[in-house]
């Protein structure tokens, strides 16, 4: 099975190709997009390049996997629109994957794990992954929007934490709570592909017309427009 994965939730976006061999899934190629350039400008050339490296044509793809949020409003729109359009055009299956689960998938642990993204306004997007969540029958935790103080109060001794907000929060972690190596804080397309394939095996595919990003909150512009309307 030929799999293309896109991760555009944050400033450091990436794409990857993976291939199944029996029950195993193997990474073929991965590429990070330049954070100094706009994803809208670099995503399509990166897709062309990685398909060429894999010796695939777009029509060879069987499954397209994309991170659907939370994350950057613009990045998520670009990633999901690209994945939907491609899957629809070539008739490939489509799967959306949680950004917070993508971070968690890169961490090897047998203890409770929190993954985080910045929700602005002194708040976090947070998800708590209990031991064993990677098993095929396990469900992924709910994404919550928590104040920083509220999240810190929920941590227990022995918890592991991962995510970009820790660059500013590591020194506030309670005793006994450990931050994962920063290399594992950023979601990667490879893990989008691996989680997407697992979801596909469980029949969790999406309609290209209906798949939308999960922003988990309205944009500042939308909230401002609503306030103006109610005045």
Q: Mean pLDDT, to the nearest integer, of 111-115? A: 95
Quick check: 22 pLDDT over 90?
no
94, 192: one domain: yes
Each residue's pLDDT tens digit, 174-215: 999 999 999 999 999 999 999 999 999 999 999 999 999 999
Give burial (CB, 10 Å; 0-12/13-18/19+) of 126.
Answer: buried
121, 191: one domain: no
133, 147: one domain: yes
pLDDT value at residue 225 = 56
86, 194: one domain: yes
pLDDT value at residue 136 = 59
Query: Is 216 in contact with 125 (CB distance < 8 Å)?
Result: yes
Give burial (CB, 10 Å; 0-12/13-18/19+) of 132.
Answer: exposed
For every residue of 114-149, DSSP letters joined together read EEEEE-STTEEEEEEE-TTTTSTTPPPPPPEEEEHH
Residues 78 and 58: their CA atoms lie apart, in Å, by 18
Each residue's pLDDT tens digit, 26-38: 999 999 999 889 9
194, 172: one domain: no
Query: Is 6 in contact with 191 (CB distance < 8 Å)?
Result: no
pLDDT value at residue 168 = 96
200, 94: one domain: yes
112, 156: one domain: yes
Quick check: 229 pLDDT over 80?
no
CATH code of 158's domain = 3.30.420.40
Q: Mean pLDDT, to the nearest integer, of 73-91? A: 97
96, 190: one domain: yes
3 state DSSP class of 217: coil
Each residue's pLDDT tens digit, 147-167: 999 999 999 999 999 999 999
**What is the pLDDT confidence band of residue 6, given thresholds at 50, 70 and 90?**
very high
C-alpha atoms less than 13 angstroms from C-alpha of 81 in its C-beta half-sphere: 10
How many domains, the chain?
2
For every residue of 193-208, DSSP letters joined together read HHHHHHHHHTT----T
**Mean pLDDT across the chain, nearest whole number?**
92
C-alpha atoms less than 13 angstroms from C-alpha of 210 in its C-beta half-sphere: 4
Q: How many helices (H) and strands (E) does the chain have?
A: 7, 10
165, 58: one domain: no
81, 194: one domain: yes
Quick check: 2 pLDDT over 60?
yes
pTM for this predicted structure: 0.93
26, 88: one domain: yes
Report cis status (omega within 30 of 0) of the bond before 70.
Answer: yes
């Amino acid at each position: 099975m030929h799999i293309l994965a896109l991760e555009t939730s944050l400033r450091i976006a990436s794409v990857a190709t993976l291939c199944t061999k029996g029950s195993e899934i193997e990474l073929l190629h991965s590429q990070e997009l330049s954070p100094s350039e706009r994803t809208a400008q670099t995503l399509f050339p990166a897709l062309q390049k990685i398909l060429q490296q894999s010796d695939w044509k777009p029509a060879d793809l069987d499954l397209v996997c994309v991170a659907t949020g939370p994350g950057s409003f613009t990045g998520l729109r670009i990633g999901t629109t690209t994945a939907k359009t491609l899957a629809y055009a070539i008739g490939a299956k489509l799967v959306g994957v949680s950004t917070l689960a993508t971070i968690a998938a890169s961490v090897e642990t047998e203890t409770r794990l929190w993954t985080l993204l910045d929700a602005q306004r002194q708040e976090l997007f947070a998800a708590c992954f209990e031991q064993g969540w990677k098993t095929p029958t396990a469900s992924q935790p709910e994404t919550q929007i928590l104040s920083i103080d509220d999240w810190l109060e929920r941590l227990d001794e022995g918890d592991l934490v991962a995510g970009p907000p820790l660059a500013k929060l590591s020194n506030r972690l309670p005793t006994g709570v450990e931050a994962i190596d920063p290399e594992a804080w950023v979601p990667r397309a490879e893990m989008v592909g691996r989680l997407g394939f697992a979801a596909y095996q469980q029949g969790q595919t999406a309609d290209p017309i209906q798949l939308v990003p999960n922003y988990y909150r309205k944009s500042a512009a939308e909230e401002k427009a609503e306030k103006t309307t109610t005045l």
